[in-house]
Amino acid sequence: GSSMTNEKCYLTGKFARVGLGTRHIDYNGRLCMSSAAAAYTKAFGLDRAPIPMTDIPLADCMLVVGANVAECFPVAMQWLWRARDRGARLIVIDPRETPTARTADLWLPVRPGTDIAVLNAMLRQVIHDGLADEAYIAARTVGWEGVRATVEPYTPEMAERIAGVPAERIVAAARLYGRSATSLIMHARGIEHSTHGVNNVLACINLALSRGQVGKPGGGTIMLTGQGNGQGGREMGQKANQLPGYRHIDVLEERQYIADVWGIPEPELPQEGAAATEQVRLMADGTIKSCLVICSNLMVSLPDNAVVQRALQHLDPLVVIDFFMSETAELADVVLPGSVWCEDEGTTTNLEGRVVKINQAALPPGEARRDWEILSDLARRLGRGQFFDYANPRQIFDELRLASRGGVSDYYGITWEKIDAQGGVFWPCPTEDHPGTPRLFEERFGHPDGRAKMFALRYEPPAEEPSDAYPFRLTTGRVVYHYLSGTQTRRLGFLNSQAPEPWVEIHPMMAERLGIRDHEMVRVRTPRASMELQALVVPTIRPDTLFIPFHYGHSGAANLLTNPAVEPACKIPEYKVCAATVERLGAAPVNGAASPCENYTPTSDPKMFPYAVGETKTPASQEAKRF
Ligand SMILES: Nc1nc2c(c(=O)[nH]1)N[C@H]1C(S)=C(S)[C@@H](COP(=O)(O)OP(=O)(O)OC[C@H]3O[C@@H](n4cnc5c(=O)[nH]c(N)nc54)[C@H](O)[C@@H]3O)O[C@H]1N2
Ligand SMILES: Nc1nc2c(c(=O)[nH]1)N[C@H]1C(S)=C(S)[C@@H](COP(=O)(O)OP(=O)(O)OC[C@H]3O[C@@H](n4cnc5c(=O)[nH]c(N)nc54)[C@H](O)[C@@H]3O)O[C@H]1N2
Ligand SMILES: [Mo]
């Protein structure tokens, strides 16, 4: 899990490979933003946000793609407000009018799963308006000719047909973005939780590169990283294909380096294992016989829940290390009470790539123990104690510094003292006298030739498209009140009273067509399962789209419904779109009946587009802050 400190993430990877000797270890970032990580590695040769958050106010235009910034990134939101106070323009691409979209100059309510069409059309418009930065493109990128040719057919009208966003709005967005001296694209899970997640992110990067923005203060792209340690968690070697320092598990020299740090012969170091989404299948068919889960609640977070439950019940034993009795712990043979971040010392790496220090504020209560002590003791019982002889987390950190040395994410020059003295240190930081690297790519990108790569991308539909039986597109995600699988927030009085159970958001027009009233119980069905929940009739969602928050367990888990299809390379699930239908409880199923979405053209719907293009809302900060 990436909610753990770097020290714990590092130890988990080492425990699997050295303590247990298994190649099957993976982490929950696979479910989070592994597509963005893959895209940044492909395009830039390095997977980290290129600029710090303090750069955001330098932007003249912010394009937010598939991110609910206000509800999910309140810290980053402060910087967004500062940019707005300076008059920066804001464009939001999201099927829902989120609190951030509500304050935007332009909202593009995209049909879930179709962003590439809009992004390609915006790039085409930038080119046609003569706004592409040819000098930058020639000097700093490769692949431009292919990109230019591929986006040419993506007229605004074609994008409108695919994505359901009016052509004039796409043109307006391209011009607002393209004419700004400094422009910043921020993206999150709305485009990354997709079977085309890698390409979706690459389409954002193409656009930013075409305007010469990447490597410039306040410009380029930022991936809004999820989880407490979403960035550090993917650099420490918890990933099926990766060793600490972002080293590759299939490159001999990199294996040899880590084997030396760990004091084992290289051939003993296991090879690449299965991704989390594949492990489920291997558990179900008996290939994987037992499992240790630390810091993840798979019964809520993995897609197509019924299959996950069957897979976990196959295991002997299933062991869970958690500080709360999660839905996954309920199925376990053994539950070991572990530690919350504030019961331990260590570091995390935030969404900027800044390594920060966490200090212990409390002791683990009762029989609970620190996670690193539990793992070290387990290793001892397995006869591998000599590799896990740590007196405290600082010793683990010092070892991980060494393990990351010379790697892409080089922490070698970072010490706990330096973190305190500098208010955090940005990796790469190769030596103790190096100050760290807040801004990347100012001179060169991470690839050997120093250039960024652009990729020619075509729109391809999501794995599951609406049909007569399932006419809606269902998307899932977050609300401000709950955190991830909800284990930590569903027990907090105020948060729970605000959102005690899940609901489905539906547009008033569709609710009316289906005879559904606000707060009435409905049944949502997908080809996998059905669930009963309250309808929340809201004008802030596309009429052909439904939304369910995923923070709940058991019969309230949105992941009963979701599609287990994954992106072919990085294996991230398609949480953000599948086909669904909704009906009043008690109403007969309407299989085959006329689709409620039929004959509906959102682009000509005044309710969806209450204000005209050009009626911008900037500066809006005072009004906006009231959301
Ligand atoms: N309150 C709260 N904050 C959190 C979390 C939490 O659980 N609760 N979780 C943390 C974690 S781990 C993460 S990963 C982040 C996630 O942060 P976000 O990615 O911002 O959150 P999501 O709700 O998953 O999805 C973002 C938006 O994508 C939109 N969307 C859905 N489908 C599409 C699509 O096809 N295209 C586009 N353009 N948009 C689409 C949704 O309507 C939603 O508004 O938040 C972090 N912060
Ligand atoms: N349908 C749908 N599904 C989704 C998503 C979506 O948008 N839609 N989002 C996906 C995303 S972005 C993410 S990140 C995943 C998250 O999925 P998970 O990682 O499975 O969810 P968490 O709630 O973070 O689970 C962490 C568990 O570990 C415990 N825990 C937290 N910190 C620690 C620690 O330091 N030590 C130990 N031992 N335990 C700890 C918590 O109590 C909790 O039970 O869900 C994914 N699933
Ligand atoms: Mo996440």
Range 494-503 average pLDDT: 95
Q: Reduced to 3 states, what is the DSSP secondary structure of residue 610?
A: coil
Nearest ligand 2 atom to alpha carbon 189: 12
Q: Which of 5, 89, 6, 101 is nearest to 609 (CA)?
A: 101
Q: 89 falls in which pLDDT band (50, 70, 90)?
A: very high
**Cβ-contact 8, 238 below 8 angstroms:** no
Q: What pLDDT is recorded for position 225?
A: 96
pTM for the whole thing? 0.96
Pairing relationship of beta strands 318-322 and 291-294 according to DSSP bridges? parallel
Phi, psi of 504 (to 5 degrees): -120, 130
Ligand 1 neighbourhood includes 557 CB (under 6 angstroms) = no
d(CA 465, CA 579): 6
Ligand 1 neighbourhood includes 110 CB (under 6 angstroms) = yes
Whose atoms come closest to the Cα of 223: which ligand? 1
d(CA 105, CA 618): 6
DSSP string, 96-116: B--HHHHT-SEEE-PPTT-HH
C-alpha 181 to ligand 2 mean position (Å): 39
Residue 31 has pLDDT above 60, yes or no: yes
d(CA 250, CA 245): 14
Residue 616 has pLDDT above 80, yes or no: no
Residue 371 has pLDDT above 60, yes or no: yes
d(CA 288, CA 433): 46
Query: Tens digits of per-residue pLDDT, 437-473?
Result: 999 999 999 999 999 999 999 999 999 999 999 999 9
Q: What pLDDT is recorded for position 218?
A: 97
Q: What pLDDT is recorded for position 91?
A: 97
Query: Tens digits of per-residue pLDDT, 542-599?
Result: 999 999 999 999 999 999 999 999 999 999 999 999 999 999 997 665 544 456 666 5
Q: 360 falls in which pLDDT band (50, 70, 90)?
A: very high
Q: 603 falls in which pLDDT band (50, 70, 90)?
A: low
C-alpha 468 to ligand 3 mean position (Å): 32
User: For a pLDDT cut of 90, what percent of the chain falls above it?
Assistant: 93
Residues 6+ apart with CB under 8 A from 467: 579
Range 170-182 average pLDDT: 97
Whose atoms come closest to the Cα of 28: which ligand? 2
Kindly state the tokens that stand for 108: 């593009």
DSSP string, 606-626: TTT--S-TT----S-HHHHTT
Amino acid at position 154, single letter = Y
Q: What pLDDT is recorded for position 449?
A: 98
Q: What pLDDT is recorded for position 438?
A: 97
d(CA 331, CA 345): 30
Q: Reduced to 3 states, what is the DSSP secondary structure of residue 584?
A: strand
Residue 625 has pLDDT above 60, yes or no: no
CA dihedral 37, 100, 494, 363 (to 10 degrees): 30
Residues 6+ apart with CB under 8 A from 55: 184, 217, 218, 439
Q: Which residue has the higher pLDDT, 534 or 612?
A: 534
For the chain, the distance separating the N- and C-terminal CA atoms, rounded to the nearest angstrom, is 32
Phi, psi of 581 (to 5 degrees): -135, 160
Residue 607 has pLDDT above 90, yes or no: no
- Name which of 62-76, 160-174, 440-454, 591-605 the model is least confident about: 591-605
d(CA 149, CA 562): 35
Residue nearest to atom 35 of ligand 2 (CA): 4
Phi, psi of 211 (to 5 degrees): -100, 10
Range 501-510 average pLDDT: 96
Kindly state the tokens that stand for 225: 């990283």
Q: What pLDDT is recorded for position 593?
A: 46
Mean pLDDT, the chain, integer:
94
C-alpha 95 to ligand 1 mean position (Å): 12
Amino acid at position 375, single letter = L
Residue 615 has pLDDT above 70, yes or no: no
Q: What pLDDT is recorded for position 613?
A: 56
**CA–CA distances in Å: residue 483 to residues 44, 228, 486, 531:** 31, 11, 5, 21
The Cβ of residue 564 has, within 10 Å, a number of other Cβ atoms equal to: 19
Beta bridge partners of 354: 426
Ligand 1 neighbourhood includes 558 CB (under 6 angstroms) = no
Q: Angle 144-151/197-210 helices, nearest 10 degrees? A: 110
Q: What pLDDT is recorded for position 605?
A: 63
Q: What pLDDT is recorded for position 237?
A: 96
C-alpha 476 to ligand 1 mean position (Å): 8
Range 75-100 average pLDDT: 96
Residue 302 has pLDDT above 60, yes or no: yes
Q: Which residue has the higher pLDDT, 477 or 587?
A: 477
Residue pointed to by tokens 């179709």: 114
Residue 279 has pLDDT above 60, yes or no: yes
Range 471-489 average pLDDT: 97
Residue nearest to atom 13 of ligand 2 (CA): 32
Residues 6+ apart with CB under 8 A from 458: 116, 150
